[in-house]
A and B are shown apart, each in its own frame.
Chain A
Amino acid sequence: MAGCLWPCVTGGGAAADGAGSLFRSKARGPVEVVRHARELLAFLAENHDACGDKRDVKREHKMVDLAKSIGEMKSILYGNGEADPVDEACSQLTKEFFKENTNSLHLLVVCLPYMDLETQKDVTQVTANLLRQKVDYRMVASDYLEENQDLLDVLMSGYDNMDIAIHYSAILRDCIRHQVAARYVLESQHMKKFFDYIQYPDFNIASDAFKTFKELLTRHRSSAAEFFSNNYDWFFPEFNSKLLSSSNYIIRRQATQLLGDILLDKSNTTAMVRYVSSKDNLIILMNLLREQSRAIQVEAFRVFKLFTCNPKKPPEIVGILVTNKSKILRFLADFTIEKEDQQFEADKAQVVTEISAM
């Protein structure tokens, strides 16, 4: 993807308002709206290089028109202040949007960087809705994504562009709700890049990347389990070094919580058993228990208890636990949480029993 980093439209908002009032009385059907938007997108995809010193009046008009068309699509799909959306209209719009050989979604994604912020937000919302629509009881979006997995590559590259990262990440997250898309991403090399995206200094981009990362690893259990099984040898060491040991407090906290979610999921029992049999992993978790942050301590304890309750503990694990027995018991005696939680107290009691018996 090449082209200008910033949309060249100026005064688009005001013009759009004017355009809105001018054409308000004319209401187009959903099919017509989609076709018109597609024509505009095709033009924009071909002519985006015009950006720069030269101001293209024709192109600007088309940008305004496109913003209006996308607004109309949104109005159909979400309703407006007074009316709820009409199912038949939504269905027609979705069918036309995903019609074969039209590639509307790809066009929309490719052209997004050239739109103004408001239109970008509308696109995100329109896309989220379309990816959930059913036509004749079929998830047409799933079929589309299965045939056009290269779109996911485009979306993944969005993290390299700070202006569009948030929008692409949101669209990607909606795409991977479909298992075909999630499986594709999990099997790709993109998974390794997430460890870098999550460490961006910009809080919004980093947290959105983490959100997508978490979705990939928890939504489709069978695909996730398969991923952990096939990639255990590089994934968890990377997880430990870049996330659990990060110098960034928020990353440590998020990662510790996610680790608990992954290991406590029954689908991931195989990975869990391997993880709690590793001395290196235990050391990391015990260090997290010593954090000043109570929130991190609570999350770390969820994983730590799995080490202690493992009936087949390796000797090196037992050795570490025995060596630190008195310290662990003293820590647990003082370890409390603000809200009364019976499950937490029961878990703590069980851990104390296990440690004491060693």
Chain B
Amino acid sequence: MAKAWEKVATAAGLGGSGERRKYPIRVEDYELYEEIGQGVSAIVYRSLCKPLDEIVAVKVLDFERTNSDLNNIMREAQTMILIDQPNVMKAHCSFTNNHSLWVVMPYMAGGSCLHIMKSVYPDGFEEAVIATVLREVLKGLEYLHHHGHIHRDVKAGNILVDSRGVVKLGDFGVSACLFDSGDRQRARNTFVGTPCWMAPEVMEQLHGYDFKADIWSFGITALELAHGHAPFSKFPPMKVLLMTLQNAPPGLDYERDKKFSRHFKQMVAMCLVKDPSKRPTAKKLLKQPFFKQARSSDFISRKLLEGLPGLGARYLALKEKDEVLLSQKKMPDGQKEEISQDEYKRGISSWNFDMDDLKSQASLITECDDSISCKDSDASCFYDLDTILPERATGPHMSRVFSIKYDTDTEYINAQDYKRGTCKWPGQETQLHRNSKHQINIHNRDKCNGGPLQVADEPSPEAVPKVPKSSAANVEDHDDRSKPPLIQQRGRFKVTPGHVELDKAHSPGLQKSHSMQAISHLPSLSIPSSIEAASTIIGGSLYMQLYNVLQTNMLQREQILHAMKQLSGCDMAMTSPACIAPASRASSPSSALSIDRSLLEAAHEKEKELVNEITELQWRLVCSQDEIQRLKAKAAQIWNSTGRIEKVCVNNKVFGGVEMETFGISDKKNNGEIIL
């Protein structure tokens, strides 16, 4: 006891002598100044070490308020006391005072990078600053990993800057040491960290993790410094966990982040690889070309700290800002983060994090999105029906005027269909591409349907060339459609009026039945079962395409029905001239011939017009049906591959049923016509 005190006194008296400076371990030797930081159970003060006349930071940790075990506190304090690297925060000494542990540390006048960003650079730092800060952090990580430590909480909030611009990695509250048991542990398993920065393998808890988890956090921190916030930072913790596991890794966008160099983007991409064995070590990362632009600590001092108010003042300013936001009933960042942390902790204690559970939760989200998509489609369908009804209502009146209007409406509908097709097909092409690459169903559906969930996705450069290709495909499709009607027209033009009548007799019943059957089956098809929702992403996507094609087919059938109605009207017109003809013939033969000829000509012209339209619509119907068959076969194949044989049977039965019933009704109708 006395020995220890004597040594301390001697060391203090000697001042700078000896390799390491001795800091006093008595409360009376320190004077606490203003508060500069706050944690769950600790407050950090700027302080004066009187014997050494040096400004230090003192972290006062209340043992009664901390939830963690005493062993954790001891481990953290000891880890920090043994640090000997300029880029890692060390502790000079620590001692107890009543219920508190006092940890004496270097004073980092600049505060954390998070603080600096919030104060002055809300949209992030410039690249040279980022490179310099990250290089220093990387040196610290290399040191820690060499000693078997995993930091487990690398983020901007834990990157501190001192008055001379020296960057240090701080806070070892949740760190772990792979070498603690005197053996090389293959991996740790504790679920710990901050959600946005946590590596996927830390969340999965399948094979454990090692210091490569810090490299992922380092990559997220790079994005944080570049954008002013971490990706997914606005989402609640559980959402962040699911997105980290399911989404493609975040990165710098080649379009949005043009101001950043290719080297920076590559460095980030190297860190954010989901397979930890493919991530580089800290040592290897330091050799990346991105870090060649890193500069000295003086540069950091000039760029970030010049003109910056004192840490205590900034701390108070942020506190006041939080209070103002709180009074306005808005969620301040700190509060939001705290609530986020609370939810996160609650999640840990009350939820099971094995992989199956996470997957089922993900499928629930998928199902929810399916519902939204279906509603959108239903709304669209309803709108289409509305546009059709007015046309029917005006049918009986003013046949000639109606005819003119009908032509105009037909063109309008065609244009609408074309535009809709143009919008959909390129999107669908992109959708297929992205699905195959990212396996992201939620994202693509949201983007295509404008759902409420807006998941930010960074399209890869490879997606860009696809757009022109799909446009070209669309153009080709249009060309193909325009050719057949011409041929058909030529063929039909030669058919005698008698043949036309025969066609008329068959067509109305057939088409009407088709439409009615399609409408009657729509409800069951439009509501996906939960099982269906949980099926593979590709299956779900194909379902949507099938649904869209069915919609198109139904619309086309309606148009054909209208054409048939118009033809009937024309027939009536033809009948009335026949009645008039005999009367005219009695009074004047030449007059009768003249009337008959003009009526015949008019009828022929109308017939020609309608035949053209019918031909075109029939062709489009055939194309739609072909596409349905093709997609159905494709879907069946995919369902088979996922082992859902029953689903295939059910699906076939449904389609088969429609066709069978249609055929039966058609026969009946045909018989009726013959009798008539």
Contacts and interface: CB of A to CB of B under 8 A. Distances in A.
A235 interface: no
Nearest to A128: B182
A330 interface: no
B660 to A, nearest CB: 63
Contacts of A131: 182
A321 B313 CA distance: 56
Nearest to A250: B96
A143 interface: no
Contacts of B287: none
Nearest to B94: A203
Interface stretch (A40-48, A81-89, A266-274, A307-315): A81-89
A203 B101 contact: yes
A264 B63 CA distance: 25
A350 interface: no
Interface stretch (A22-30, A61-69, A193-201, A275-283): A193-201
A204 B4 contact: no
A300 to B, nearest CB: 15
Contacts of A233: none
Interface residues of B, number: 41
Contacts of B147: 121, 125
Interface string B132-173: 000000000000011110000000000000000000000000
Contact of A295 (B63, B81, B148, B283): B63
B25 interface: yes
Interface string B32-62: 0000000000000000000000000000000
Interface stretch (B70-78, B190-198, B486-494): B70-78
A6 B182 contact: no
Interface in B18-39: 18-20, 25-26
B78 A204 contact: yes
A132 interface: yes
Nearest to A205: B4
Residue from B4, B20, B78 whose CB has the most chain A CB atoms within 10 Å: B4
Contact of B3 (A84, A85, A160): A160
B96 A203 contact: yes
A162 B4 contact: yes
Given A204-B94, A211-B74, A82 B281 contact: yes
Contacts of B4: 162, 200-202, 205
A290 to B, nearest CB: 15
Interface string A151-191: 00000000010100010000000100000000000000000
Contact of B179 (A128, A200, A249, A295): A128
The interface residues of chain A, by DSSP majority, are classed as helix
Interface string A35-64: 000000000000000000000000000000
B77 A249 contact: no
Given A160-B3, A166-B78, A294-B64, A202 B98 contact: no
B653 interface: no
A208 B78 contact: yes
B78 A132 contact: no
Contacts of B148: 78, 125
A203 B70 CA distance: 12
Nearest to A257: B70
Interface in B89-132: 93-96, 98-99, 101
B257 interface: no
Contact of A162 (B7, B26, B63, B82): B7
B60 to A, nearest CB: 13
Nearest to A249: B99
A78 B25 CA distance: 35
B95 A201 contact: yes
A249 B98 contact: yes
B11 to A, nearest CB: 9
B173 to A, nearest CB: 16
A127 to B, nearest CB: 8
Interface string A117-161: 110010001001101100000000000000000000000000010
Contact of B63 (A77, A78, A117, A253): A253
Nearest to A203: B94
Contacts of B5: 201
Interface of B: 1, 3-5, 7-8, 18-20, 25-26, 63-64, 70, 74, 77-78, 81-82, 84, 93-96, 98-99, 101, 145-148, 179, 181-184, 186, 211, 281-283
Across the A-B interface, give the 8 residue pairs with the lowest CB-CB distance, nearest first: A128-B182, A81-B281, A203-B94, A207-B74, A78-B184, A117-B84, A250-B96, A132-B182
18 contacts: A10-B19, A78-B184, A81-B282, A121-B147, A128-B181, A129-B183, A166-B78, A201-B25, A201-B95, A202-B95, A203-B25, A203-B95, A203-B96, A204-B94, A248-B96, A249-B96, A257-B70, A295-B63
